Amino acid sequence: MRQNRLRELWKSGGAALNGWLAIPNSFSAETMAHQGWDSLTIDLQHGVVDYQALIPMLQAISTTPTVPVVRVPWLEPGILMKTLDAGAYGVICPMVNTREDAQKLVAYTHYAPRGTRSFGPVRALLYGGADYPQHANDTIVSFAMIETAQALDNLDAILSVEGLDAIYIGPSDLSLALGCTPTFDDVDPKAAEAIDHILERAKAHGIVAGIHNGTPEKALERIAKGFQFVTVSSDARLMAAGAQQVVAKMRTRPTPAASGGY
């Protein structure tokens, strides 16, 4: 079976640089995949991507060594299993708030006897290899999102669930849950304290910690603290930022002569 480079990176003590895909287009996904990201996450929760768009995006990512990850809309067995059957090598599940939620996530993403995942890896066999069924349980990565006050209260119980590989912090939702301003990087002190606490407890349980970032500078800072999976921005935000820079530079040039133009 094709190896999961995320697991290889983490085993060596390294951190993975993750890109984020909110645009439902295979060409933009392919373009992002060729830029050197360790992994790319297709966002089915807040992106404008549906399952029909997901498949060609996964196929596009497959033209590179980039690891395909999907954030599902919710903790629901059908979409988790369909996403893995489509060839995702990692799944990020939002709003995991209790130990029971984490146990369900592990069960839905693992074949028996370790879980209840239904068998039907229709595209995963093509991407992962003919021996996918024998090795999927030890290859796929499952992330539980920690982003609510309830999840903080149950943090150690969640982190102690056998088979959970990683957690992923959504700073905006976590900030909102704590009565703070929703943002990625310059979070309020209460949210910053919670993020540090989550990281500390994840390390204590031997669980990989991931987090969303707005800038490379913040991602590097968080890697230095011990995060091993850092997302920087998204395809839509990066496209908008690049376009804004071009337009801003063009608008500062001298006004064209009457006979000319842009």
SS3 state of residue 206:
coil
Which run of H or E residues covers position 197? Answer: helix 189-205
Contact 117, 153 (CB under 8 A): no
Whether the Cβ atoms of residue 121 and residue 111 lie closer than 8 Å to each other: no
How is residue 117 annotated by DSSP? P
Task: Compute the C-alpha angle 35/38/42, nearest 5°.
Answer: 85
Closest CA relative to residue 222, chosen from 179, 156, 149, 171 = 171
The three-state secondary structure class of 22 is coil
Q: Which of 121, 108, 99, 40 is nearest to 74 (CA)?
A: 108
Q: Shortest CA distance to 168 belongs to which of 186, 134, 142?
A: 142
Question: Is 135 an annotated catalytic residue?
Answer: no
Q: Residue 23 in 3-state DSSP?
A: coil
Out of 34, 46, 135, 205, pick the active-site residue: 46
The catalytic residues are 46
